[in-house]
Structure 1
Amino acid sequence: MKYFAVFLPMLSPEKSQEYRPQHLDYLAIRRKEGKIFANGRFLDGAGGLVIYKADSEEEVRHIVQQDPYVIHQARGYEIHEWEMVTEAILPES
């Protein structure tokens, strides 16, 4: 399993507000599937970040392109494979 950092830069604050409930519901579904390690918004309004767990960038791209924020062009997206370095004790996947 690999980790992918997905930056969701703000394109439209109005659309982001409108589609926020759908976006959060979508993330909840992906979280239950075990596809999300962490997520959150940037407090400066720049957008948000989702850390996905997946086998490939193509899998993550497919997931991200179904996010209501991306579908409705409220947010863009940038995908980067992430080599996590941590001393935190993480739950087993």
Structure 2
Amino acid sequence: MKYFMVLLPMLDEEKSKQYRQDHLDYIAKKDEEGHVFAKGRFVDGFGGMVIYIAEDLAHAESIAKEDPYVVKEARTYEIHEWEMTTRAVLPE
């Protein structure tokens, strides 16, 4: 499995508020499936970021495109494969 960083820049703040719970529920589901490494919002209002765990770019992109924020055009997305290096102890 590989890691993919997905930026979710804000397109429409009102839609973002409207679909926030749908987005959070979707991310929780993907987390339960083992596809979320990390997630969070940017405090400056830019949007948020999710680091997905996926087989390849196509798989990660399919996950990102199904996020309600993207589907409802509250946010757009930008995706990059992430080669993680860390000294932190990671969950298995």
Identity %: 59
The structural deviation recorded for 1:75 is 0.2
Q: TM-score, normalised by structure 1?
A: 0.97
SS at match of 1:89: coil
The structural deviation recorded for 1:91 is 1.1
Distance in 1, matches of 2:54 and 2:13, equals 29
1:43 to 2:43 alignment: yes
Runs ≥4 residues deviating over 6 A: none
* Matching residue's letter, 2:43: L
* Matching residue's letter, 1:47: G
Distance in 2, matches of 1:83 and 1:59, equals 17
* Matching residue's letter, 1:53: I
Distance in 2, matches of 1:26 and 1:60, equals 14
SS at match of 2:85: coil
Matched ranges for 1:8-27 at <5 A: 8-27=8-27
2:5 maps to 5
The structural deviation recorded for 1:28 is 0.3
Unaligned 5+ runs, structure 2: none
1:67 to 2:50 alignment: no
Q: What is the root-mean-square deviation of aligned Cα atoms in Å?
A: 0.4
How many residue pairs are counted as aligned between the two chains?
92
The structural deviation recorded for 1:43 is 0.4
Q: TM-score, normalised by structure 2?
A: 0.99
Distance in 2, matches of 1:82 and 1:6, equals 10
* Matching residue's letter, 1:6: V
